[in-house]
């Protein structure tokens, strides 16, 4: 039998402020908002201990949510330039004839058709070059180190990763995992690059001795502008992975939302035009009229539109017997109260709540993006997790875990330990990178038990 002291220690580590038994109760995933101290709890102490009894089929799984920062963004320069020519031609045609004149849209359609035809003729003739927009430091080394960390067996048995953009880096990350787990490794990947893009979704879900199955994927239709945002050249999406936890199944949705404004002032470009390899130190696409910067509101609008797409995708694919969890990098800062409220309102349409807000009842804590030394304080550099009782500086909370509210249709019960932030310090810093990512990993245990 578990004591209440052991349950509190399990749910709320010593590095989390306010570890009272009462707070441990409302940090469980019960229906509705955190109860007021005077509100009776809906689950008894006896029930809490029962849910941890492996003899009844209760299971425990560690989930890691992590943006790997393995970014090497590329676009086809010819497609980019021809897109801009097409946009400009359509704008001129649109302005040439007022909308109120009958048939005014035919000119724009004709111009679009002519540009498409011209593009079809030019593309086989011109070199199909590409531009490396941005390349983060120590990519190959960090990919291998992340794989080694996951293969250690001490991090997670379910990992939802994003920004694993390229096949070569994915293979670097997977090499130590394949050697360690072989048949026990489940891998779910998002969409890959296609003829229009050199970059896929960057999403990857791993089951380490856990059964994880890909069920469905939705590539966002709202993805920004191809002359403003590198994301518009990627295949950003939301994927549904179904995880067998023994007493039931979890519908794990993972995503990475719009960043935006990546095609303005681009440093350290490498332009590869067929047999030519031209090193270019800097190109400002904006100054030469090829790009324009979206506003912060424009970028936020794209993200919220993608959230609406996620909600519809969940409604179409979620099995009501299962419990839904949505994770990923949303690029929406929880410190912006208006934007965070809008995000929470959209997610509530799918019956999801922000787990950090639920557990800590504070949106000003838990930064996940920035300088890990500043935003993720630890007692000693060797510590694996942040000490949430220490002050942090700067950063933003843009990585989230949303969990479905309790429903009668669920086939099992799910409790979650308090989210712990994990910075993943590298053993040896190279290329100025002391950590494996500029994001902080979010770690929590999923406590799954059959219903009484």
One domain, residues 47 and 95: no
One domain, residues 27 and 120: no
One domain, residues 242 and 190: yes
CATH of the domain at 232: 3.60.10.10
β-partners of residue 267 are 282
pLDDT of residue 199: 78
One domain, residues 156 and 10: no
**Would 405 be classed as within a structural domain?**
yes
Q: Name the pTM for this structure.
A: 0.84
- Using alpha carbons, list the distances in angstroms from residue 219 to 146, 251, 395, 399, 409: 26, 18, 29, 19, 29
**Would 157 be classed as within a structural domain?**
yes
- Domain span at residue 209? 59-69+139-264+293-450
Say if residue 82's pLDDT is above 90: no
One domain, residues 324 and 433: yes
**Would 343 be classed as within a structural domain?**
yes
**Would 272 be classed as within a structural domain?**
no
**Would 279 be classed as within a structural domain?**
no
**Would 270 be classed as within a structural domain?**
no
**Would 281 be classed as within a structural domain?**
no
pLDDT of residue 22: 63
Say if residue 114's pLDDT is above 80: no
- The number of domains in the chain is 3
- Residue with the bigger pLDDT between 80 and 301: it is 301
One domain, residues 212 and 97: no
One domain, residues 304 and 406: yes
pLDDT one-digit tens code per residue, 436-450? 999 999 999 999 999
pLDDT of residue 231: 85
pLDDT of residue 30: 47
One domain, residues 234 and 337: yes
pLDDT one-digit tens code per residue, 312-342? 999 999 999 999 999 999 999 999 999 999 9
Say if residue 153's pLDDT is above 60: yes
pLDDT of residue 1: 54
Q: Which of 73-82, 256-265, 321-330 has the lowest mean pLDDT?
A: 73-82
- Percent pLDDT > 70 in the chain is 68
Are the C-beta atoms of residues 372 and 425 closer than 8 Å to each other?
A: yes
One domain, residues 301 and 405: yes
One domain, residues 154 and 31: no
One domain, residues 94 and 182: no
pLDDT one-digit tens code per residue, 342-399? 999 999 999 999 999 888 777 678 999 999 999 999 988 889 999 988 888 999 999 9
In terms of average pLDDT, the best of 22-36, 142-156, 361-375 is 142-156
One domain, residues 208 and 238: yes
pLDDT of residue 192: 78
**Would 275 be classed as within a structural domain?**
no
pLDDT of residue 386: 92
């Amino acid at each position: 039998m578990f004591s209440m002291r052991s349950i509190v220690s399990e749910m709320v580590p010593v590095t989390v402020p306010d570890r009272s038994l009462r707070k441990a109760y409302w940090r469980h995933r019960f229906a509705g908002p955190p109860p007021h101290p005077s509100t009776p709890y809906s689950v008894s102490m006896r029930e809490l201990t029962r849910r941890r009894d492996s003899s009844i089929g209760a299971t425990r799984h560690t989930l890691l949510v992590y943006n790997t920062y393995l970014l090497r963004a590329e676009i086809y320069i010819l497609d980019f330039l021809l897109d801009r020519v097409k946009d400009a031609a359509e704008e001129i045609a649109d302005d040439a004839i007022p909308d109120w004149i009958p048939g005014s849209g035919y000119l724009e359609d004709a111009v679009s058709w002519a540009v498409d035809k011209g593009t079809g003729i030019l593309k086989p003739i011109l070199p199909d070059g590409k531009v490396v927009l941005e390349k983060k430091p120590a990519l190959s080394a960090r990919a291998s180190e992340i794989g080694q960390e996951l293969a250690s067996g001490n991090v997670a048995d379910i990992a939802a990763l994003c920004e694993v953009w390229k096949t070569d880096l994915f293979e670097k990350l997977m090499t130590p995992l394949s050697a360690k787990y072989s048949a026990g490794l489940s891998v779910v990947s998002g969409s890959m690059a296609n003829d229009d893009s050199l970059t896929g979704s960057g999403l990857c879900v791993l089951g380490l001795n856990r059964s994880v199955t890909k069920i469905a994927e939705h590539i966002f239709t709202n993805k920004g502008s191809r002359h403003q945002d590198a994301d518009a050249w990627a295949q950003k999406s939301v994927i549904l992975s179904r995880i067998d936890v023994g007493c039931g199944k979890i519908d794990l949705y993972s995503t990475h939302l719009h960043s935006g404004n990546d095609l303005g002032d681009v440093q350290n470009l490498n332009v590869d035009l067929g047999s030519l390899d031209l090193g270019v130190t800097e190109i400002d696409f904006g100054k030469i009229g090829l790009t324009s910067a979206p506003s912060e509101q424009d970028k936020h609008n794209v993200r919220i539109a993608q959230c609406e797409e996620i909600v519809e995708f969940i409604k179409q694919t979620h099995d009501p017997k299962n419990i839904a969890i949505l994770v990923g990098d949303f690029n929406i800062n929880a410190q912006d109260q208006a934007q965070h409220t809008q995000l929470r309102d959209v997610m509530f349409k799918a019956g999801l709540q922000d787990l950090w807000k639920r557990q800590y009842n504070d949106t000003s804590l838990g930064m996940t993006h920035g300088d890990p030394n500043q935003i993720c304080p630890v007692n000693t550099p060797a510590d694996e997790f942040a000490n949430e009782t220490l002050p942090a500086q700067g950063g933003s909370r843009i990585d989230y875990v949303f969990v479905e509210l309790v429903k009668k249709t669920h086939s099992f019960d799910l409790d979650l330990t308090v989210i712990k932030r994990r910075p993943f310090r590298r053993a040896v810093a190279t290329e100025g990178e002391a950590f494996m990512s500029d994001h902080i990993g979010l770690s929590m245990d999923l406590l799954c038990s059959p219903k009484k």
